[in-house]
Structure 1
Amino acid sequence: MANPRSGCSAAGRMARAARAFIDGLAPDQRQTACATFDAPDRREFTYLPGPRPGLALDEMTDEQQARAMELLATGLSERGMANARTIMQLEGILAEIERAVGRRGWQRRHPRYYWFRILGYPDGSGPWAWKAGGHHLAVHMTIVGEQVAGTPQFFGANPAVVPDGHAHAGLRTLADEEDLGRALVTALTPAQRELAVSAPLAPRDIITRSDPVADVTQIPSGLIGDHMSGEQRELLVRLIRRYLGRVIPAVADTAWEEIDDAGLERVSFRWAGPTDPGHGHYYAVLGPTFLIEYDNTQNNANHIHTVWRDLRHDWGDDLLAAHYASPISADHEH
């Protein structure tokens, strides 16, 4: 969540980019791309292949695509944008792989099968939101006044490492998410692993899936930061900030402040599956204010799913509650 006390203009940049995107659309495109803030799909969260509400890049001109990506860049950091572009690029590679082996449905893979949606009016008159997503990418931004909530967020990669014989062979996506998690679990002592490793086999997917509200009671217990050494705690911090660093600093820094204020000693880490590379594995990092999940089990452990959920700010729920509870807001609504 971006904090207005920081003097951040993230909300303004998003509003300008959203208006530019909308203004560049034809009337029928605008009707497809835009909806009221209370539209049922505002809290729709999926990372599976298939169409979404909104306007797809494939349905846009080159100029419109550029404006859509400029909107995406107002919410993602430079690294986050690089990840997002690579995830989109992987869809073309995945289509090639699946077509070569005769897998049905390869036609649903395409680098431009990503949908953009504006909910509400980016004119400062009330809360609004924008979202962008398709297979393995889900970005949600909710804006209430000058405050921005940037979760839920999903990044995935298939293939995580592009195999030989294909364009961009050897390209590795979301590498640090895998390497930092493995570095932390292998840095633990045998006694600590007894607490951190929850199962010999990893679940087939992230446990909370695409539920609108993350049920953290499903996450198995693990090793808390209070029981880690200084070096292990540093790895934990690097891992958390890897996920937060996908979004713009105005949102990431505020999220980190809340995690730190709640106490790193209360943050837990759990791992499932073997620790050697090449085997299916899973980890979760859970704190009082957030959840991170990572799973790499499908396609012979070459298919990554990752999610960051803010337990207070997903969908901007706490911001909206405060907005609608304020007397000024209530007068404005009536």
Structure 2
Amino acid sequence: MKAYILFLFLLTSACGADRPTTSRTAKDDLNPKMTNAVNSFLKTLDATQKAEVMHPLTDTIRYDWHFIPRERLGFNLKRMSEPQRKAAMNMVEVVMSDNGYAKIKDIIDLENVLRVLESRPPNDTRRDPENYAFLVFGDPAAKAPWGWRMEGHHISIHYTSVNGHISFTPSFLGSNPGHVLIEVPQKGKRVLGEEEDMGYELLNSLNAEQKRQVVLAEKSPYEIFSVNQRQVTGIERGNFEGIAMKDMTSAQKELFKKLISIYLDRYHVTLKNQQMKQLEKAGMDNLYFAWMGDTKLEMGKDKGHYYRIHGPTILIEFDNTQNDANHIHTVVRDLTDDFSEDLLKEHYAKSHSGGK
């Protein structure tokens, strides 16, 4: 049990940032708050550390992202001083909701569970709650577009600021175990349990004919289809499968909206509202829900299940298949705004044309 290690700096608030209670526009004070947080982090670094963390926005490293345990570029928590750790985690806290930030901390803490589950020593580097690295792309102190990311096992979050607009996708969160069953202090923890439960609730609200539309396969995929590519692959953008929201009852539509909200509620209310406005503009009725794998959640009997939410502007995937259906991967992709690539193209086009 000595392998179980708590990092108190991750279990307490990094900055005590206040949370808004009212809806705000996409260009409210979140962008300056995020900018200030990143600048504050950079000020804690010496010249060597800063050179390691900061890369040009055009660097292709920005698109080399993954959610598996591996060595990562950037400055990780293990090598940070306490003030640096606090400043780094403050960057995350500023852009997430309280709920989302709690998920981030819990996912990190699951590395301690994996050390016990896999009988690894306390200094093991594969299951390491300190192997979460930070990179900054561009200069947040300048007026030009810039971005940053935090990444480690089961966390890969990306933020890009272009003319006051913040892109927050791709955004990956995973959980292994999905349900902690061994005798550790985290026993019973289901970090992504609400995503799983609400998916089943929506599925089980459907009648037999609707389920025939929704269930695409009896076997779930081993992994999310979009994996870790720069652009979504594996799922055609305009090829919607399953059942559309417009073909659901009023009660089912409300469940579908609740499921979407569970994912968007991870983020600062500004980013959630920004995404909801985009979905409403594209038409909520044009969102589709599809399922693969077991249709009943039975611990120990489940062979895996997968669902996705797919529309003209968004893709959300949930997969729980690996490790005997106790290993969850989820991702949110904005099909029009990942890495803010469309806005960057527009920005550079205007810059090259003299801003006309």
TM-score, normalising length: structure 2:
0.87
Cα drift, residue 142 of structure 1: 0.2
Q: Does 1:272 align with 2:292?
A: yes
Which residue of structure 1 lines up, in the alignment, with residue 347 of structure 2?
Answer: 323
Q: CA RMSD in A?
A: 2.0
Cα drift, residue 45 of structure 1: 2.1
Q: Does 1:122 align with 2:140?
A: yes
| Unaligned stretches of 5+ residues in structure 1 | none
Secondary structure of the structure 1 residue equivalent to 2:333: strand
Q: Does 1:227 align with 2:247?
A: yes
Q: Report sequence identity in percent.
A: 33
Which residue of structure 2 lines up, in the alignment, with residue 78 of structure 1?
Answer: 98
Which residue of structure 1 lines up, in the alignment, with residue 267 of structure 2?
Answer: 247
The 2-side partners of 1:28 and 1:124 are apart by 21
Q: Does 1:149 align with 2:167?
A: yes
Cα drift, residue 167 of structure 1: 2.9
Distance 1:127 1:229, change over 3 A: same
The 1-side partners of 2:26 and 2:46 are apart by 37
The 2-side partners of 1:33 and 1:246 are apart by 25
Deviations 1:201-227 (A, max 9, x none): 100110111111013328772111111
Distance 1:5 1:93, change over 3 A: closer
Deviations 1:80-113 (A, max 9, x none): 100000000001111221126x9xx963111111
1:49–1:134 CA contact under 8 A, matched in 2: yes
- Amino acid aligned to 1:133: E
1:68–1:116 CA contact under 8 A, matched in 2: yes
Which residue of structure 1 lines up, in the alignment, with residue 77 of structure 2?
Answer: 57
Which residue of structure 2 lines up, in the alignment, with residue 288 of structure 1?
Answer: 312
Structural mapping, 1:1-334, within 5 Å: 6-99=26-119, 107-215=125-233, 216-217=235-236, 221-277=241-297, 278=299, 279=302, 280-326=304-350, 330-331=353-354
The 1-side partners of 2:171 and 2:139 are apart by 22
1:11–1:145 CA contact under 8 A, matched in 2: no
- Amino acid aligned to 1:162: V
- Amino acid aligned to 1:259: L
TM-score, normalising length: structure 1:
0.93
Deviations 1:237-286 (A, max 9, x none): 11111111111111110111111121121111001111111311000010
Cα drift, residue 6 of structure 1: 4.9
Which residue of structure 1 lines up, in the alignment, with residue 8 of structure 2?
Answer: none
The 2-side partners of 1:221 and 1:282 are apart by 13
The 2-side partners of 1:74 and 1:111 are apart by 21
Secondary structure of the structure 1 residue equivalent to 2:71: coil
Aligned length: 326
Secondary structure of the structure 2 residue equivalent to 1:217: coil
1:92–1:111 CA contact under 8 A, matched in 2: yes
1:198–1:220 CA contact under 8 A, matched in 2: no
- Amino acid aligned to 2:169: T
Cα drift, residue 7 of structure 1: 4.6
The 2-side partners of 1:4 and 1:323 are apart by 24
1:117–1:131 CA contact under 8 A, matched in 2: yes
The 1-side partners of 2:26 and 2:38 are apart by 22
More helix by share: 1
Deviations 1:104-141 (A, max 9, x none): x9631111110001110002320000000100001100
